[in-house]
Amino acid sequence: MDTCDPRRPSDSVVVEVDRLLRLVFQIFKAAGCAPDEARAVSEGLVDASCAGHHSHGVVRVMRYLDWMGEGKLKPNQVPTIEVDAGAIAVVDGHQGFGQTVAPFAVDVGIEKARKLGVAVIGVKRSGHLGRLGDWAERAAVAELCSIHFANVNGHVLVAPFGGTQRRFSTAPFSIGIPRVGLDPVVVDFATSTVAEGKVLMAARGGKPVPDDALIMPDGSVSGDPSVLYGDTPDGQLPHPRRGTGAIRAFGEHKGSGLAFMCEVLAGLLTGSGTTGVNPKEGRLWSGMLGIYIDPTRFGEGEALSRSLSDFVDYVHETRPADVNAGVLVPGEVETNMRRVAHLNGVSLPLPVWADLQRMAGRFGVTC
């Protein structure tokens, strides 16, 4: 059956993964992306939804299309290597989709790390990078350890610890460690209490954010998405420029300090810049700093994989605080959720599904 036929729980729809992939691919292709790019973008967004990272999933389709219309995100760009100096490289994304810029940069890092043992790759002027953990996973498939810092120049959302005004992007951070023949161990999180996309999902009928995730100008905390987005006109996507509040950094001074360093390493060091430093109207691009390490150069390799698996088992054996739940290591939640999604479909809030249908209608796409 070629038409979408989602099953409908009370306030959501469940869409088969293949159908959702086909729909998102067709939307981006109709919007002007080359087939390979449309495929990379759709696969990245749908996989994020499958993995439970709805903040970086198909809810972003409408945001990407808006950015394309505003000239902040440019389809069919070819990333280039601006600096190539031994173990160091800087990749210019030319405001292209992060789902095509980032894998290019990661592959440069993989090649250099295999040759030299370590590589440090900067990315500047990329579109939204998607789920940062994707790039740690890509390096782990190549049996490399990797560390990634990212920021978004022009998308100021987060108040530093002790403040109420926005100064940071959500400044995510990720680490991936490979295990031969097994799923890698991957940690991936925003340095804000929640990713902006989680607030967006809450505003579109998804899971609420914590009651203290946002901060208002008077210093009081809230979980109401309107603090970030203000009033949203009918038929439009919530936009953070309309709100007067901010997202809070996680962990008080600790998350705020890590966010600051993400901005410096991913933004300033790469030449991509940070919000508030040489601001330019209409700028909206991501920076990323990736560090790639070949564990075999430490005399490890498969030994690392075996030792890591032993450590994973040791953590799993921890007595759980909740007898109905086990203790997991980074990456296991995503693996489990992907498996369920590919069996049962992806659950989307009704407003998100309606947004996708509206975009499909705009471009004459059927699913």
Model pLDDT for residues 222-247, shown as the tens digit of each residue: 999 999 999 888 777 888 889 999 99
Phi-psi region of 156 (alpha: psi -120 to 50; beta: other; left: phi over 0): beta
Looking at residues 104-108, what average pLDDT do you find?
A: 98
Per-residue pLDDT, 1: 33
Domain ranges in the chain with CATH number 1.10.1530.10: 12-72+346-362
The candidate with the shortest Cα–Cα distance to 188, out of 74, 310, 321, 52, is 52
- Give dist(CA 60, CA 14) in Å, integer: 18
Residues 106, 112, 113, 118, CA torsion sign: negative
pLDDT of 320 above 80 = yes
Length in residues, the chain? 367
Per-residue pLDDT, 3: 39
- Give dist(CA 311, CA 327) in Å, integer: 13
Say what percent of the chain tops pLDDT 70. 95
Which of 1-5, 201-205, 344-348 reaches the highest mean pLDDT?
A: 344-348
Domain ranges in the chain with CATH number 3.30.1370.60: 86-192+249-298
Report the CATH fold assignment for 86-192+249-298. Answer: Ribosomal Protein S8; Chain: A, domain 1 (3.30.1370)
Answer yes or no: CATH 3.90.45.10 is held by domain 12-72+346-362.
no
The candidate with the shortest Cα–Cα distance to 232, out of 351, 127, 130, 347, is 351
9 falls in which pLDDT band (50, 70, 90)? very low
pLDDT of 199 above 60 = yes
